[in-house]
Amino acid sequence: MLNVQAVRRDFPFIRPGRVYLDSASTSLTPEPVLAKMLEYYREYRANVGRGVYTSSRRATEEFEAARKTLARLINAKPGEIVFVRNTSEAMNLVASGLGLRSGDKVVTTIQEHHSNYIIWLREKARKRIDLRVIGADASGDLNLPDMQREIEKGAKLVSVTHVSNVLGVKNPVEEIGKICRENGALLLIDGAQSVPHMRIDVKRIGCDFLAFSGHKMCGPTGVGALYIREDLQGDLEPLCIGGGSIEDVGVDYYTLRGGPYRFEAGTPAIAEVIGIGAAAEYLMDIGMENIEAHEADLTREILEGIQGDRRVKVYGSLDSGRRNGIISFNVDGMDPHDVAIALESAAGIMVRSGHHCALPLMKEVLKIGSGSVRASLYLYNTKSEVRTFVETISKISESAKGSTA
């Protein structure tokens, strides 16, 4: 069981008057992660893989230890973890590095964050790939029969989010992975909203690529990771090459290193990589199952608290077991930005408002051009905060009702 009060003591941002419900955008960072990053700057500030002196060796050891920790987090091999800036860069690496050609079929969905959508639109414009977009209903259910048909007709790659950053719905990635394996299609998973919140096993999912970001999992900004199945790495072209990615160079040739290093040209974000490793260790020490159960409990309480208000429209399934701690909603007669401002003014509650980088879903499925309000939970949120949120939404809704009467 998660001891939320003990967890909260690790987060300096948390203080009276602040209720942070925007972790789907970016999470808070605990003291152990900050301390580990400061340790690098204070104790062994040197480049990695560049020197034989003690500080450089220590920096390299800590950097590679972070790679091993992230591998444990998702049940991968250390050599299958590539460090990138964020989920967006990771998916761009796959999109540009696969060497897609005219006619190659890529399957994605209407649920996707822009980072897993516009990259395929660009490949369609550049290389005339055959892009297929699978629909979903307002509850978040993907049209899996359509997806299966498209995969069976010769898809080269399927690229899908594990958890919708708008609806919070958990997509059946294991089932999708099985269909891909049976038909020789590659599978890329956007894990930005899943890796921080639940136990992930890339072997069980059967994916070939998995992308996620440090700043959504209690780590620093500017660092993320891409899982690339070991046997695929030699076939994927790096986004950039240079120092650190080179095995040999002559006057008229070069040879890239093997493993993840071929994708990690230049001096990396060393402190940030060490930080994401510390964040992964922090989450695993608490227990991913404990985090998931805690969020499910809070999500259920929010849904039960607000769905009885007819002026509050909740998007996605109302079954808390089918989603994680992301709740998108609107208050009838109010702009979502005004609701967000009212929440902070009334009770110090911080939420996201707008399109959440998912305009196709907003426009084509949910039919809400103005966007929505989004509250998102994490391990440091409490039942008291949830009750404050529900009570404040009720007051805002009642106020909106009075102003339009």
- Examine the residue annotation and report whether 357 is marked as an active-site residue of this protein: yes
Phi, psi at residue 12, to the nearest 5°? -65, -25
Q: Report the DSSP pairing between strands 209-213 and 186-190.
A: parallel
- In angstroms, how far is CA 389 from the centroid of its own chain? 24
| Predicted confidence band of residue 319 (pLDDT cuts 50, 70, 90) | confident
| Predicted confidence band of residue 403 (pLDDT cuts 50, 70, 90) | low
CB 202 within 8 A of CB 170: no
pLDDT tens by residue, 52-69: 999 999 999 999 999 999
pLDDT tens by residue, 197-238: 999 999 999 999 999 999 999 999 999 999 999 999 999 999
Is the per-residue pLDDT at 401 higher than 90? no
Distant-in-sequence, close-in-space partners of 391: CB < 8 Å, separation ≥ 6: none
Distance from C-alpha of 292 to C-alpha of 199, rounded to nearest angstrom: 8
pLDDT reported for residue 402? 61
* CA–CA distances in Å: residue 283 to residues 4, 68, 126, 201, 321: 13, 15, 40, 15, 21
For residue 212, the cross-strand partners are: 225
Q: State the catalytic residue, choosing from 180, 207, 218, 357.
A: 357
For residue 224, the cross-strand partners are: 84, 213
| Predicted confidence band of residue 303 (pLDDT cuts 50, 70, 90) | very high
Which DSSP category does 142 fall into?
Answer: B
Q: Which helix (H) or strand (E) holds 349?
A: strand 349-350
pLDDT reported for residue 257? 92
* Through-space distance between the first and last CA atoms of the chain, rounded to whole angstroms: 46
pLDDT reported for residue 50? 79
Distance from C-alpha of 146 to C-alpha of 152, rounded to nearest angstrom: 10
Least confident segment among 146-155, 242-251, 261-270, 289-298: 242-251
pLDDT reported for residue 404? 55
Burial 214-233 (b: 16+ CB within 10 A, else e): bbbbbbbbbbbbbbbbeeeb
Closest CA relative to residue 62, chosen from 233, 356, 275, 351: 275
Distance from C-alpha of 393 to C-alpha of 304, rounded to nearest angstrom: 13
Q: Is 328 helix (H, G, I), strand (E, B) or coil?
A: strand
Mean pLDDT of 367-374: 94
* CA–CA distances in Å: residue 186 to residues 104, 112, 209: 12, 17, 8
Strands, DSSP E only, in 92-239?
Answer: 105-109, 130-134, 155-161, 186-190, 209-213, 224-228
Q: Is 270 helix (H, G, I), strand (E, B) or coil?
A: helix
| Predicted confidence band of residue 320 (pLDDT cuts 50, 70, 90) | confident
What is the signed CA dihedral for 290, 292, 294, 297, rounded to 10 degrees?
-140
Angle at 193 between CA 133 and CA 232, to 5 degrees: 65
Q: Which amino acid does the sequence have at 17? A: G
CB 32 within 8 A of CB 362: no
pLDDT reported for residue 335? 96
Residue that the structure tokens 């480049």 belong to: 47
Closest CA relative to residue 397, chosen from 340, 346, 331: 331
Over the chain, what is the mean pLDDT?
A: 96
Distance from C-alpha of 62 to C-alpha of 79, rounded to nearest angstrom: 15
Domains of the chain by start residue, with CATH: 4-27+287-399 (3.90.1150.10), 32-285 (3.40.640.10)
CB 318 within 8 A of CB 303: yes
